[in-house]
Amino acid sequence: MPVALITGASRGLGLALARRLAADGWSLVIDARGVDALEAARHELAAATDVVAIAGDVADTDHRRGLVGAAVGLGGLDVVVNNASVLGPSPQPRLDGYPLDALRNVYEVNVVAPIALLQEALPLLRESGGTVVNITSDAGVEGYEGWGGYGSSKAALEQASRVLAAEEPALHVYWVDPGDMRTQMHQEAFPGEDISDRPPPEESVPGLVTLITTRPPSGRYRVQEVVVS
């Protein structure tokens, strides 16, 4: 069975994608910071496939090594989905008052950690001719007031993805905007607002799965514009 490593997979888009890949016969390595939510996800997914769940922070070196080691234990690695990220302060502060320690943490989790995980995973991905999916945002390309921290971190991840695609032409590298979703992070971005009109993360999954399975040219994609196979 092919093996996918999905970060931030205890809820939201990560869990929705894990459910779909499990149903399609993929083995999974998943992580999240919350132990209880991750164990609930592991228990659910284990009914359909082989799954290893490791609680921890993607910004931690030993944790990242453990994730890649778990993939080796499952037989290799075909796909890495860098989905885990942090929003930063809520509500989102303007740049003129953005706490710099919080900004450093946003970059550590949203930019440095995905690159570091890929450094660990690349030997396995090169063997399999594998796929990288970096989850980004329209905030990485648009100048939304109050989104200078999260948005600029996603812009950095997008540029890193472009460079990776140029440096690793044998791999399939996608930086993907999943669109607005009814998730905990989106609620944190708009505290006190009703976000029930946003679609659930499950609606973004078919486009992601199409990218993973049909493997079009490396590049930036919006899931709503992917022709679902």
**Burial category of 143 from C-beta neighbours within 10 Å (exposed 0-12, middle 13-18, buried 19 and up):** exposed
- Alpha-carbon span 26 to 79, nearest angstrom: 10
Predicted pLDDT at 228: 86
**What digits encode the pLDDT tens for the residues 49-86?**
999 999 999 999 999 999 999 999 999 999 999 999 99
Q: Are the C-beta atoms of 139 and 154 separated by less than 8 Å?
A: yes
Over residues 36-43, mean pLDDT: 97
**Burial category of 118 from C-beta neighbours within 10 Å (exposed 0-12, middle 13-18, buried 19 and up):** buried
Structure tokens at 6: 């999905």
- Alpha-carbon span 211 to 133, nearest angstrom: 9
pLDDT exceeds 90 at position 229: no
**What digits encode the pLDDT tens for the residues 182-205?**
777 777 777 777 778 788 889 999
Q: Which CATH number does the domain 3-225 belong to among 3.40.50.720, 3.40.50.300, 3.40.47.10, 3.30.70.100? A: 3.40.50.720
Domain ranges of the chain: 3-225
Predicted pLDDT at 159: 98
Over residues 150-164, mean pLDDT: 97
Q: Are strands 219-222 and 172-177 parallel, antiparallel or unpaired?
A: parallel
